[in-house]
Amino acid sequence: MALVGKKFPNIAVDAMNDLGDTFQVNVFEEAVKNGKKVLLFWYPKDFTFVCPTEILAFQEALPEFEKRNTIVIGASCDTAEVHFAWLNTKKEDGGIEGVTYPLLADTTRNLSSLLDILEVDEVYNEEIDEVLLEGSNVTFRATYLIDEEGKIFHESVNDMPLGRNVHEYLRLIDAYTHVQEKGEVCPANWEEGKDAMEATRDGVADYLKSH
């Protein structure tokens, strides 16, 4: 079920940071109370292969997100303790040392279940007359962009082997901010500094004529 245009779930989840602090993060409140956009990205597991490349890429781009008044938060279903161990493992050993933004530890799977991003199926077993779970029960590579009112304005879900393009999220934030500030809409392949257009028939015609 698409969540774009809806409020992000208003629940708190355990989290860990690079200092070893365990605390709770409510993504909805992070956006609304701080008057900031939030980029929340989910990855399948700590100590895996594609995941550290993404996590470190978001860290490298963190100043660009901060320029755009955007908080970055990572998330998986691993425990806070496993997050901390990974945060203290050197990059050359497959770790993510140097990452400073918080990582959610959705061990209860309450939030990931609400978002419907878990790789899991319910299968009825006739022999024991019970419904069993099949699958990894970890999340796909889901990404959410949330505005200052807690509304989701972008969501995407990648299969596990497919890493994300971090720069695309910067472009989407720029486009949404342009819409917020200018009231114009952003055409295909729009980037900051390029022409946008009015959301009218004439506006589209004028844009297509000049491009």
Phi and psi at residue 137, to the nearest 5° = 55, 30
77 has catalytic annotation? no
Does residue 174 contact residue 145 with C-beta atoms inside 8 Å?
no
CA distance 7 to 151: 4
- The residue with tokens 């959410």 is 144
CA distance 177 to 172: 8
Does residue 126 contact residue 109 with C-beta atoms inside 8 Å?
no
- Selected catalytic residue, list 39, 51, 142, 146: 51
Active site residues: 51
